[in-house]
Amino acid sequence: MAALLEKRRVLLLMSLILVTLQMMIGVVSGALFHQTNVTITNTLSQAVTIHCQDKDTDKGYHVLQPNAGYSLSFIPNPIFKRTLWYCSFGWTEEGHNFDIYVQKRDKCQNGICSWLITENGPCRVTNDPKNPECFPWN
């Protein structure tokens, strides 16, 4: 009887290890955590200096020439959905800020969010590229 109970314990432990390994493989393969890519394109006729960061990561300063783009990639929080990336944008005597990615606001197509920087504010590219959704500067 004791041998049968010991075999059951071993079988249960092996089952738990197998399930845990399957869950870990799912996490590593991206089944639980999906990467998001945010692309920012300068549509102005002059260079724009951008500086993007979240609460833990500072991507530094980048200069975008007209029609040039900058991309940042990250994995949004899958549980609390509180991921926030904010950027500053500067050009000749202008300076603005905008929350370029707000997890609860932004529903990206296949993990890709594309933004166009205009004088009046950033515009998110939608399913219809000719009609982006524009926002005022913060």
Tens-digit pLDDT profile for the chain (138 aa)? 677 667 788 677 666 676 565 555 555 555 568 899 999 999 999 999 999 999 999 999 999 999 999 999 999 998 899 999 999 999 998 999 999 999 999 988 889 999 999 999 999 999 887 899 999 999
Note the pLDDT of residue 1: 67
What is Dmax (Cα atoms) for the chain? 84
Model pLDDT, residue 6: 79
Report yes or no: 37 and 111 within 8 Å, Cβ to Cβ.
Answer: yes
Q: How would you classify the pairing of strands 36-42 and 112-118? A: parallel
| Residue 111 CB partners (closer than 8 Å, separation 6+) | 34, 35, 36, 37
Q: Determine contact, residues 102/84, Cβ cutoff 8 Å.
A: yes
